[in-house]
Amino acid sequence: MVQKILKLRLFDQDEKKWHCNVMDMSYEILSISQFTLCYKLKGNKLDFHMAMPGNLALQNYQYFLETLRANYNPSKIKDGAFGEMMEVEIVNDGPVTVQLEFPNPEKCFDGKSDKLDEVDKL
């Protein structure tokens, strides 16, 4: 995911559309954990049983941030407070939203293990 985020060509330069990535443009990255995206809708109720437990999610998120900082300018990586209510003010420049998903997330967390070893193997 780190390489995809850093190398995805989302930005225009001069007349070239979708030509540059975040590193080419020297942009900052704001990373905010979004556990609420890991739900299933059961009738009119949200079900979070497939979400990773908080302690493991925090470890996974910290590992993600460390890897992101190791592969890009650490001063360009901003993050939110894990598990906290936050108000985030951004300027969204463009009509595009890109949703990136980790391939085969069920391989990373089986609901029983408290280890993140499987993440490193993918």
Q: Which residues contact 113 (CB under 8 A, 6 or more apart)?
A: none
Among this protein's residues, is 36 annotated catalytic? yes
Where does 67-116 show beta strands of DSSP type E? 77-79
> Cα angle at 33 between 108 and 90, to 5 degrees?
145
The catalytically annotated residue of 14, 34, 36, 97 is 36
Q: Which residues contact 17 (CB under 8 A, 6 or more apart)?
A: none
Provide the annotated active-site residues: 36
